[in-house]
Amino acid sequence: MRKLGESVTNKLDRVFNPRSVAVVGDKQALGYMWLKSLSHFQGKVYSVQIDPNELPGIAQLGVKNYLSLNDIPGPVDYVIAAVPRAAAPIIVKDCIQKNVGGVCFFTSGFAETSTEEGIRLQKAITDLAREAGLLVVGPNCVGVYNPRIGLLHNTLQSYGDGGPVGFITQSGTHATLFSLAGPRNGIRLSKSVSYGNAAILDSTDYLEYLKTDEETGIIGMYIEAVKDGRRFFNLLREVAEKKPVLIWRGGESEDGARATASHTGALAQSSIIWQALTRQCGAIKVDNLDEMIDTVKALLHLKPARGNKVGLIAMSGGQSVSIADTFAREGLKVPQLTRKSYQRLSTFFNIIGGSYRNPFDVSSSFLMSENAISNLANMLDVMEQDTNIDCIVLELFTIVSPFSRDLSKPDPLVDTILEFKNTTKKPFLTIVNAVHTETLAIEIRDMLTGKGIPCFPSFERGARALKRLVDFYRFRREQHLN
Amino acid sequence: MTSKIIDSVLKNGRTVLTEVESKQLVAEAGIPVVETKLAKTKAEAISISKKLGFPVVLKIVSPDIIHKSDIGGVKLGLANATQAGKAYTEIMAAAKKANKKADIQGISVQKMARPGVEVIMGMSKDAQFGPVLMFGLGGVFVEVLKDVAFRIVPLNKRDASQMIREIKGYPLLEGYRGQEPANINVLEDILLKLSDFVDKNPKIKEMDLNPIFAYKDRALAVDARVILES
């Protein structure tokens, strides 16, 4: 008998990179979502369905159907099961007999229901699979996403190009949302997995896999609990040294105080220990999907931060005060520039209707200037040269859009920003607040993102992402000093 | 590593260590702790006091009396043999009044430590991650403001250094307004010793070193509380 063991990572490679996939139990009621999601899959797709009423629909999709997994002629690397829960143990037995790489149960109704029947069935599939060394993803999850080979779990997901970001999540919805929001934010995924009830494989197993996965350079995780905390702690410490790991822990509000006899025990709430864990391991703690996306975006598209001092360029007086307040509130510093910088600024910056202490208020020198483009290039260069500044932030407007009306056409302003982004040695980001027109803001952000210019939708989100980036690189530096 | 104290307490069917036992355990961990001896008679209390040097502190030692101060079981700043003897008699009377059935092992005698910056260190077990250590400033800072930092055992040097600097009250350790500063290296060293000790003694369930007096050249645990796994 093969047991689960050190070969889990090797076995997972087959699950994450299958050459053949079988869907068991897809049906009209689901809109044939599984088979449709696999319409761009580069390998072989099979259907297994015994309900005669479902067969015409499956045939219409051009997928060959079998009455049993074991009727499929060739090998099957990955099985997606959407069967009624009572049939789950039979499917596991079939998977073992067929010697598949792994099975993902979309099926729910197991231990998560806290019912006797659900717990019994989960134990049944767990025992069978463990004994045979079969990998089970889930149950109660959407399983694996690998865009490079077109292995999708939602028809809206992108495919073809992969990227460097891996995502491990207990929640299937978060897997879908992250994979959909990612590309719009310049984030391309290598692989993701939703692991649901973690009957056999827990987040730690997937982290172990992504640790060695060469396609994955950054790892995001959504976790509510881990099964083996010590193993997770030790592994996280090891992985975070090599690849940035972001942790979004769900369920913090449910962590209650415990009855204990010591001060220490009373204060050691689970949410506090998770925070300690991320700090200790050098992982990055995020609190929601937006923060996950913003921070991954910053890691991907911003240069490493050498310190926490920001140079801020805003479009008006009020906004320059507001942006400075927001970045300071997040714990970043907004220092004065060097004398040399002020001398240079005085040669071109119009202080009537503007100011350049830091933050810059560029109303008169940019928004209402004939030399807008060259002035902006000079301002950015001042920030670049200034030794008091570690990171650079540029606000762009929608109320008086400095961009051409047709965002699809070449624009000298965009070229200037892009050139700066490509040459700067400091973290650089842009912010486009929506103000009155969400539509235009989205168009501008998408246009900038499409050109590789990192853009954030509010001062708060830009500041928070930059702070996490700064903290991450500070931890790395401290780590290397020790 | 096995600890004789842990073994003997468990053999007695107890999980809560007395003050004297807790301090012996802390000393076993290599952490400086105020010397504390158990007196079973008034004469013993006086002779121990003389040996340790005045002023001294006397405290009731009983596994059945948890909140010692509340029942009059603690006497501080006893300046001579007469005061120490009187305190012994008063504490015994108060303890018996508070709980007739209490198992009274005696009265602990310790030299009253010179006040320093009060810090707390402690250990408890997290359901997912196992033993964790806590660091904070003592008194209201831990009780009311909950200004503490945690790390998962085992700690490395960087963890110890970072958790001390993580608390909001850190400037108080640097010698705020002319106060004597705390020696941060010494505190880091104690955290590492504590981490090592609890790592090697899985039978310890919870631990408070509260307070530890931190001085510019050293630190001294003044009270300790240890609870074992049942």
User: CA nearest A278 in B: which residue?
Assistant: B151
Q: Is residue B135 part of a domain?
A: yes
Chain B residues touching residue A276 (CB < 8 angstroms): 132, 149-152, 163
Structure tokens at A451: 């050109």
- Pair (B98, B201) in one structural domain: no
Could you tell me if A346 lies within 8 Å of chain B, comparing CB atoms? no
Say if residues A186 and A452 touch (Cβ distance below 8 Å).
yes
The residue ranges of DSSP E strands in B51-197, in sequence order, are 56-61, 74-78, 106-111, 117-126, 130-137, 148-152
What's the half-sphere exposure (Cβ side, CA atoms, 13 Å) at A372?
17
How does pLDDT run across A37-50, given as a tens digit for each residue? 999 999 999 999 99
Question: Counting Cβ atoms within 10 Å, is residue A99 exposed (0-12), middle (13-18) or buried (19+)?
Answer: exposed
First to last CA, chain A: 46
Other Cβ atoms within 10 Å of A408 Cβ, number: 8
Percent over 90 (pLDDT), chain B: 87
Residues B127 and B106 in one domain: no
Are B107 and B126 members of one domain?
Answer: no
Q: What is the pLDDT of residues B62-71, one digit of tens each?
A: 988 878 888 9
Taking the C-alpha atoms of residue A44 and residue A66, their distance in angstroms, rounded to an integer, is 14
**Residues spanned by the domain of B192:** 11-15+115-228
Cβ contacts of B137 on chain A, cutoff 8 Å: none
Contacts for A62 with CB less than 8 Å, ≥ 6 apart: none
pLDDT digits (tens, 9 = 90+) for B158-210: 999 999 999 999 999 999 888 899 999 999 999 999 999 999 999 999 999 99
Give the pLDDT mean for A154-166. 96
Tell me the two tokens of residue B197. 């000790």
Evaluate the omega torsion of the peptide bond into residue A410 and state whether it is cis, within 30 degrees of 0.
Answer: no
Contact A473/A307 with Cβ under 8 angstroms? Answer: no
As a whole number of angstroms, the distance between CA B152 and CA A237 comes to 11
Whether B142 and B173 share a structural domain:
yes
B104 and B123 share one domain: no
CB pairs under 8 A between A and B: 86
pLDDT value at residue B173:
95
Banded model confidence at residue B144, pLDDT cuts 50, 70, 90: confident
Contact indicator for B208, B225 with CB cutoff of 8 Å = yes
Burial label for A81, CB within 10 Å (0-12, 13-18, 19+), is buried
Using a CB-CB cut-off of 8 Å, the residues of chain B touching A204 are none
B120, B183: one domain = yes
Residue type at A300 in one-letter notation: L
Out of B122, B150, B158, the one facing A272 most closely (by C-beta) is B150
User: Domain boundary at B111, B138, B153, which?
Assistant: B111
User: CA torsion B181→B184→B187→B189, rounded to 10°?
Assistant: -150
Interface residue A269 vs chain B (CB under 8 A): no
Could B152 and A264 be called an inter-chain contact, meaning their C-beta atoms sit closer than 8 Å? no
Q: Three-state SS for A288?
A: coil
Q: Which residues of A touch B206 (CB under 8 A)?
A: 260-262, 264-265
Is there a contact between A263 and B152 if contact means CB atoms under 8 Å apart?
no
Domain ranges in chain A are 8-140, 147-301, 310-481
Q: Over 70: is that where the pLDDT of A482 sits?
A: no
pLDDT digits (tens, 9 = 90+) for A371-424: 999 999 999 999 999 999 999 999 998 877 777 778 888 889 999 999 999 999
Task: Average the pLDDT over A231-252 and give the result.
Answer: 95
Listed residue (A163, A180, A164, A162) closest to A172, CA to CA: A180
Tell whether B104 and B153 lie within a shared domain. no
Closest CA to A220 of A181, A252, A255: A181
Q: Burial level of B7, CB count in 10 A (0-12/13-18/19+)?
A: exposed
Q: Does A135 touch chain B (CB under 8 A)?
A: no
State yes or no: pLDDT of A2 exceeds 50.
Answer: no
What are the tens digits of pLDDT across the range A65-122? 999 999 999 999 999 999 999 999 999 999 999 999 999 999 999 999 999 999 999 9
One of 3.30.530.20, 3.20.20.100, 3.40.50.720, 3.20.20.70 is the CATH number of A8-140, namely 3.40.50.720
Give the separation between CA A356 and CA A353, rounded to whole angstroms: 11
User: pLDDT tier at A275 (50, 70, 90 boundaries)?
Assistant: very high
Show residues of chain A in contact with B156, CB under 8 Å: 482
Structure tokens at B190: 């104690």
pLDDT interval class at A257 (50, 70, 90)? low
- Arch. (CATH architecture) of A147-301: 3-Layer(aba) Sandwich (3.40)
Q: CB-CB: which of B130, B156, B208 is closest to A264?
A: B208
Residue B28 lies in a domain: no
Structure tokens at A246: 């972001």
Q: What is the mean pLDDT of residues A156-166?
A: 95
With vertex at residue A182, the alpha carbon angle to CA A178 and CA A186, rounded to the nearest 5 degrees, is 165
Partner-chain contact A263 B129, CB within 8 Å: no
Query: Does B126 map to a domain?
Result: yes
CB contacts of A236 in chain B (<8 Å) are none
Q: What are B85-143's pLDDT values in tens digits? A: 999 999 999 999 998 898 999 999 999 999 999 999 999 999 999 999 999 998 888 88
The average confidence (pLDDT) of chain B is 94
Tokens of A9: 């990572």
Distance of CA A244 to the CA centre of its chain: 12
Which chain B residues are within 8 Å of A229, Cβ to Cβ?
A: 126-130
Residue A215 has pLDDT above 90, yes or no: yes
Burial of residue A10 (number of CB atoms within 10 Å: 0-12, 13-18, 19+): exposed
Average pLDDT over all residues of chain A: 94
Contact list in A for residue B207 (CB cut-off 8 A) is 262, 264
Per-residue pLDDT, averaged over A279-297, amounts to 97
Same domain, residue pair B99 and B181: no
Is A265's CB within 8 Å of B128's CB?
A: no
Give percent of chain A with pLDDT exceeding 70: 97
Q: Is A283 on the interface with B (CB under 8 A)?
A: no
Burial A312-349 (b: 16+ CB within 10 A, else e): bbbbbeebbebbbebbeebebebbebeeebbebbeeeb
DSSP-assigned beta bridge partners for residue A285: A247
Beta-carbon separation of A267 and B146 below 8 A: yes
Q: Would an 8 Å CB–CB cutoff place A342 in contact with chain B?
A: no
Q: What is the number of H-type helices and E-type strands within chain B?
A: 8, 10
Top-tier CATH class for A310-481: alpha beta
Q: What pLDDT sits at residue B1?
A: 55
**Peptide bond preceding B202 in cis form (omega within 30 of 0):** no
Closest C-alpha among A374, A304, A310 to residue A336: A310
Q: Which range is least confidently modeled, A133-142, A399-408, B146-155, B219-228?
A: A399-408
B141 and B208 in a single domain? The answer is yes
Binary contact (A263, B122; C-beta < 8 A): yes
B129: closest chain A residue by CA: A229
Q: Report the phi/psi class of residue A99: left, alpha or beta, with left for phi > 0 and alpha for psi in -120 to 50.
A: left
- Element (H or E) spanning A81, and its range? strand A78-81
Q: What is the pTM of this model?
A: 0.93
Categorize the per-residue pLDDT at A1 as very low, low, confident or very high, splitting at 50, 70 and 90.
very low
Query: Are the Cβ atoms of A261 and B149 closer than 8 angstroms?
Result: no
Residue found under tokens 């408890």: B124
What is the rounded distance in angstroms from the CA atom of residue A134 to the CA atom of residue A120? 19
Contact state of B134 with A270 under an 8 Å Cβ cutoff: no
- Give domain status of residue B22, yes or no: no
Which H or E element spans position A455? strand A455-456
Q: How many structural domains does chain B have? A: 2
> 3-state DSSP: chain A helix, strand, coil percent, rounded to 5?
45, 15, 40
Tokens of A154: 């939602």
What tokens were used for A107?
């099926």
Interface touch A280/B208, C-beta < 8 Å: no
Report the alpha-carbon distance of residue A321 to residue A380 in Å, rounded.
19
B170 and B186, same domain (yes or no) = yes
Tell me how crowded residue A283 is: count the other CB atoms within 10 A of its CB. Answer: 22
Comparing CB atoms, the residue among A225, A264, A276 nearest residue B123 is A264
Contact between A374 and A449 (Cβ < 8 Å):
no
